Amino acid sequence: MESIRDLKKFWKKKRVFITGHTGFKGSWLCMILNHLGSKIIGYSLRPEKNSLFNKSKILKNLSSNHFSDINNIIKLKKALKKAKPEIIFHLAAQPLVIESYKKPLETFSTNMIGTVNLLESIKEIKSIKSVVIITTDKVYKINKKNIEYNELNQLGGFDPYSTSKVGAEIIVNSYIKSFFNKTNLKYKISTARAGNVIGGGDFSKNRLVPDIINAINNNKKLIIRNPNQIRPWQHVLDPLMGYMRLAEKQYKGKIKDSNNCWNFGPDKKSFKKVIDIVNYIKKINKFNYNVKVSKYYKETEVLKLNSTKAKKVLGWSSKLSIRDTLNKTIEWNNLEKKGNSVRKICEDQFIANLKMK
């Protein structure tokens, strides 16, 4: 069990460059690293007005901030050269499946070329000691046997989002073998594949839990697209702690694995149907819903992750059960509605998570 003291020992004063820092996971990561004393440099598009980034007021605590597009390699290179980071977390992405059907060109450009731009930009920056590139659990070729996918399973996707992330995985592997294999960054660049991440402060559209919370807050009827789809649900704190553990191990030269990809998924008990999530939250907060299966947007039916590698090599494991995850998310929403500080809610949940066995 890591303590705040242990984490601060490593992360304090580390120069950390985060792309996509204004997004849901990026905002949580900024708050955690700020709490640990890191020097954070953010690079991202401007956030939505009603975003977690703005609500947390984390901007004032960043060492440097760049509101710019990951597709702009000139600005990205300039920001990285000036920052001289030690650690990079690449989260900048178009992260939504349905949005990828509506905006395929933007999705492929941001998720693939954006990753190329980052890797191209770090070639000559000697200060970098660890890079973690966030992809998704949806990069695996779906097997009808409903297996738990591990890092050696075949990649594949059909919707623009998952396909773009498969492309990002292949690009990272190509760059490592082509440009970083004989440099200090060999074994220090990885991709991280997390499950269906949920938690307080996610206001994305067409995502189950944010849609449920929006229905509760605004007394609206929820539309459920795929009630029987199974996903590896997990609280945002669990994969973030995995990303940070991976970044630290790479920084310290403790990773010697040429298979540079990592799953960060929940316990098997958290592989639940959409309707199970709906029914659990409905017991806590009343809301109404209709089932309306989409004819236009095809999504994976069953998705399960095997995270044995992260457990064995990194000593990481998911701490929060599906009930803990949903309870914390509802708690976050209720506290925020009462006017509590968003930053304090997130920090309190982070500290409480550390204390769990």
Tens digit of pLDDT at every position of the chain (357 positions)? 678 999 999 999 999 999 999 999 999 999 999 999 999 999 999 999 999 999 999 999 999 999 999 999 999 999 999 999 999 999 999 998 889 999 999 999 999 999 999 999 999 899 999 999 999 999 999 887 778 999 999 999 889 999 999 999 999 999 999 999 999 999 999 999 998 899 999 988 888 998 999 899 888 898 898 888 888 999 999 999 999 999 999 999 999 988 999 999 998 888 999 999 999 999 988 888 988 876 666 666 778 899 999 999 999 999 999 999 999 999 999 999 999 999 999 999 999 999 887
Residue 274 pLDDT: 93
Question: Taking Cα atoms as reference points, which of 52, 24, 134 lies closest to residue 88?
Answer: 134
- The bridge status of strand 271-273 relative to strand 230-235 is antiparallel
Q: What DSSP state is assigned to residue 51?
A: S
Q: What DSSP state is assigned to residue 193?
A: E
Q: What DSSP state is assigned to residue 60?
A: G
Residue 21 pLDDT: 98
End-to-end CA distance of the chain: 6
Phi then psi for residue 197, to 5 deg, are -85, 130
Residue 295 pLDDT: 63
What's at 298, amino acid-wise?
K
| Rounded (5°) CA angle 190-355-280 | 85
- How far is the C-alpha of 269 from the C-alpha of 265, rounded, in Å? 11
Mutual orientation of helices 4-11 and 342-355 as an angle, nearest 10°?
110
Query: Residue 259, SS3?
Result: coil
Residue 355 pLDDT: 87
- How far is the C-alpha of 41 from the C-alpha of 66, rounded, in Å? 8
**Kind and range of the H or E run holding 323:** helix 322-337
Joined tokens for residue 295? 């004819």
Query: Residue 263, SS3?
Result: strand
- How far is the C-alpha of 307 from the C-alpha of 236, rounded, in Å? 16
- Listed by start position, the domains of the chain span 4-355
Mutual orientation of helices 274-284 and 322-337 as an angle, nearest 10°?
50
Q: Looking at domain 4-355, what is its CATH homologous superfamily?
A: NAD(P)-binding Rossmann-like Domain (3.40.50.720)
- How far is the C-alpha of 300 from the C-alpha of 85, rounded, in Å? 37
Mutual orientation of helices 114-121 and 160-175 as an angle, nearest 10°?
20
Do 94 and 107 contact (CB within 8 A), yes or no? yes
Q: DSSP assignment of 129-188, as one string?
A: -EEEEE--GGGBPP-TT-PPB-TTSPB--SSHHHHHHHHHHHHHHHHIIIIITTSTTTT-
- How far is the C-alpha of 263 from the C-alpha of 135, rounded, in Å? 10
Residue 258 pLDDT: 86
Joined tokens for residue 37? 């004393």
Residue with structure tokens 């905006």? 103
Residue 182 pLDDT: 93
CB-side neighbour CA atoms (13 Å) of 183: 18
Residue 301 pLDDT: 72
Residue 300 pLDDT: 67
Residue 105 burial (CB < 10 Å; 0-12/13-18/19+)? exposed
pTM of the predicted structure, to 2 decimals: 0.95
